[in-house]
Structure 1
Amino acid sequence: MSDLAIDVYTCQAFELPGGGWFSPTTSTLITGPTEAILVDTQFLPTDVDEVIEQIEDSGKQLTAVFLTHGHFDHYFGLERLLNRFPEARAVAVPSVAKSIATNLESDRAYVRDFFGGQALDNTAVPEPLDNLVLTVDGTEVLAIEIEQADTSPTAIIHIPTLQAVIAGDVVYNGVNPMLAMTNRNDWPNWISSVDYLASLNPTTVVAGHKRPELDDLAECIDETRYYLQEFVSNVDELAHARELVAHMQSRFPDHANPSTLVVSAVTAFKQKKNNNA
């Protein structure tokens, strides 16, 4: 029996200033008898403060904040968290740490302009985790670089003693995945990454984005694979983005955030048109 436990915080979806919605995002606290590690940070002040309260309520010492990838919604709470828990290290796999450092200023400008001050600013960056192993009270927590999710580079956390995976944006749970930042060359690699998660045989899987009321069950792996396969095959078979949106909604009627599906479909068909030109 493991001494570790996980506690998942999921923010609510919210309406964007320019229309559409932002998907609910997860942060996961891994706790042992005396120590804790946080995976991903949130980016709105109220949500980061909720995560801070979650850590304080655990009564554990936060030793590290691990970032799965360089999307601002997963790391822009970092500076606020480190100010509250200065003894904690901010870490990521080397490729992700480099990506965050490289893109930090452009991310700051984008978040400032897009959210109009609603989101936190952030100047903190993670250090590279060279040995890819963290510990919580002596129990190993494994960082694994993954070839492709809705972005690359990206990573997951595997907790063997819990048969748990904190998957970042490799998988989604009851939420339309963001495919607009990928292309057809990425999609087979994303599906292969989902298959790799399945090969770990987890019983608990925390998706980077999920409907808050859903449990963190391994079924979201198969759901994500099926979603990606349906999306990819129908980009080739259908003639218009609106047809793809209708098809995906017929297959996944309960998936949250249709605005993500719309932008993903529109982007995919623009890429298809450019490739066929």
Structure 2
Amino acid sequence: MTSTLNFNVFTAPEKPMVGERPRPLGPAMAWDPMTSTLIYGENDAVLVDPLTTVAEAEALAAWVKLHNRNLTTIYITHGHIDHFSGLGVLLKHFPQAQAIGSPSTVKMAQESLSILSWFSKFLPGQFPTDTPLPEVYKEETFTLEGHELRIIEQGHTDGVDSTSLYVPSLDLVVGGDVLYNQCHQYVGESTPESRANWIAALDRLAALNPKYAVAGHKKTGVPDVPESIEWTKQYLVDFGRLQAETSSDQELFDAMTELYPTWACHQAWLMFGFPMPAE
């Protein structure tokens, strides 16, 4: 007989960044607030995305220990460095846990590691020195105390090769970076085609009719409500419309600010792209 599952969400707050802004717009650069989700049963638990910095990962490990469960699995939703660089810290505290990601997630994570030293310039001294990769996991599901957790391949959303996680017994979706919640979205690398795919990915989550939806990035303190799926979708529609209607970066930035004045982390780099290193 299977046990009843529960979940809790850990939110790491916005992090100030150093370095040149890609556009002289808005406040100084900062990294979005972001989440890690613990799904747990009577004895065991699964953690989704082990965060970014040493301080965040250490705080997350202490929080996981408060649940007094055996952490069996750490699932990585995608290969952006902020969603897996804390993995080594978590594995130090939970050496029995198996870290897994889809083949595309592991490939992207490996590529992210190749420029980790460059990323470190923006959060100096904060990244772990040991950053292992998750193991390649090719199946579409895994289990926790008899309950199925389903991996949803989502393609290009705020980056290439995103996945989400669906837990039917909880009516829960953990969206990864497919889903944002009252937090300005990383559209800086998006195109009309990738935004269309992103909207299709959100429609897949909505079709599951979840009771709870956890965003990869969310404003601190907001609830994990399914309405965030539609909010994320509307943001993409508004950005595409205003990008076509405005004639300068300043106009676009101001127009999005006016539409979403209370959303967290309104940084120009989210809207216009991160200053990636030259080839």
> Scaled by the length of structure 1, what TM-score is found?
0.91
Residue 96 of structure 2 is aligned to residue 84 of structure 1? no
Which of 67, 74, 79 is the equivalent residue of 1:65?
Answer: 74
Partner of residue 275, structure 1: none
**How far apart are the structure 1 equivalents of 2:166 and 2:271?**
32
Gap runs ≥5 in structure 1:
269-277
1:201 paired residue number? 209
Q: Does the 8 Å CA contact 1:40/1:74 hold for their aligned counterparts?
A: yes
Query: Which one of the candidate residues 132, 135, 142 is aligned to 1:127?
Result: 135
How many pairs were matched up? 265
1:244 aligns with 252
Deviates more, 1:152-161 or 1:110-119: 110-119
2:224 corresponds to 1:223: no
Contact 2:38 2:48 in 1 (8 A): yes
* Alpha-carbon spacing, 1:265–1:14, altered in 2? closer, same or farther (3 Å): closer
- Alpha-carbon contact 1:157-1:167 (below 8 Å) kept: yes
Aligned to 2:11: 10
Relative to its length, the structure with more helix (as a share) is: 1
Q: Which residue of 2 aligns with 1:271?
A: none
Structure 2 CA distance, aligned partners of 1:10 and 1:90? 20
Deviation string 1:61-97 (CA, Å, 9 cap, x unpaired) is 0011000011111100001111211111110112111
Deviations 1:84-134 (A, max 9, x none): 11111110112111221243222x222333222122234300112111212
CA distance in 2: counterparts of 1:55 and 1:265, whole angstroms: 33
- Alignment correspondent of 1:100: 109
TM superposition shift of 1:263: 2.5
| Shift, 1:246, TM fit | 1.6
Are residues 1:136 and 2:109 paired?
no
| Identical-pair percentage | 31
Does the aligned pair in 1 maintain the 2:182–2:264 contact within 8 Å?
Answer: yes
State the 1:215 CA deviation. 0.4
Return the offset for 1:264.
4.1
What is the CA-CA distance between 1:2 and the residue it aligns to? 6.9
Residue 263 (structure 2) pairs with residue 263 (structure 1): no
Of structures 1 and 2, the one scoring higher in RCO (CA 8 A, sep 6+) is 2
Q: Could you tell me the TM-score, scaled by structure 2's length?
A: 0.90
Matches of 1:80 and 1:56, distance apart in 2: 13
Q: CA shift at 1:267, angstroms?
A: 4.7
Secondary structure, in 3 states, of the residue corresponding to 1:80? helix
Contact between 1:5 and 1:31, CA under 8 Å: does it hold in 2?
Answer: yes
Q: In structure 2, what residue type is equivalent to 1:233?
A: R
**Contact 1:62–1:88 (CA under 8 A) maintained in structure 2:** yes
| Cα distance between partner residues in 2 of 1:194 and 1:214 | 19
After TM superposition, give the deviation of residue 149 of structure 1 in Å.
1.8
State the alpha-carbon separation in 2 of the partners of residues 100 and 243 from structure 1.
35
Structure 1 residues 144 and 122: CA distance shift in structure 2, 3 A: farther
**Range 93-102 or range 36-45, more displaced:** 93-102
- Provide closer, same or farther for how the CA distance between residues 239 and 186 of structure 1 changes in structure 2, counting only shifts above 3 A: same
- Alignment partner, residue 41 of structure 1: 50
**Which stretch has the larger CA shift, 239-248 or 71-80?**
239-248
Cα deviation for residue 50 of structure 1 reads 1.5
Q: Deviations over 1:244-266 (max 9, x none)?
A: 1121122111111111xx22444
Give the letter aligned to residue 53 of structure 2: L
Equivalent residue, structure 2, for 1:30: 39
Alignment partners' CA distance in 2, 1:50 and 1:203: 28
For residue 155 of structure 1, report the CA deviation from its aligned partner.
0.5
Equivalent in 167, 179, 182 of residue 175 of structure 2: 167
Partners of 1:10 and 1:125 in 2: CA distance: 23
* Unaligned residue ranges in structure 2 (runs of 5+): 20-27, 275-279
- Please, which moves more after superposition, 95-104 or 17-26? 95-104
Worse-matched range after superposition: 247-256 or 59-68 = 247-256
